[in-house]
Structure 1
């Protein structure tokens, strides 16, 4: 009787284990921009807060940059020189030409949502 119970318990364990979802790796997660600080004057540091910015190096400069002064669709604007880049925070110096419009982050070639900004 014990042998039957152990056999049934073992089969039940195998059945449960086979029903578990297979682990998967998510790629191209949505780069999410949450907030943009507004500096007082040109040359001040601007802070972007968000998620999934990555390390700022994967894919090179062509795949990782900040675009300021674009329209709501992400067209136009200017790339800015980034001071510091972490997975949740990017800092850059407010550009001399200002940056009225929208700001976007491109991380690993994936564009974030845009946020309106009015840089001096």
Structure 2
């Protein structure tokens, strides 16, 4: 099986995402020469990046799959911010719940256990 270079990436996470996307489309992909990227980022540029290789017979299909993925609409910044805002608001509400509800109950249980210990002793 002869491999052809589909794309060159200068980011290891990006190359892994592209290979995973292609694998989900049924196209085997290999991020070749990726191990030098973990040592030093400068080696990545010096070595010419990470070449994403696919079988030559599936090269046009892989290009079409990537073009389709890049053409699909992405989450807009305002919606992404809104989701982030909602997540932070929920975390804040959980903290408030802990302080206003759980902590007083915990203090009351501690007092009751101290009273029970005094009564028993």
- TM above 0.5, one fold? no
Choose between structure 1 and 2: higher strand proportion. Answer: 1
- Structure with greater Cα Rg: 2
What's the TM-score once normalised by structure 2's chain length? 0.26
Choose between structure 1 and 2: higher helix proportion. Answer: 2
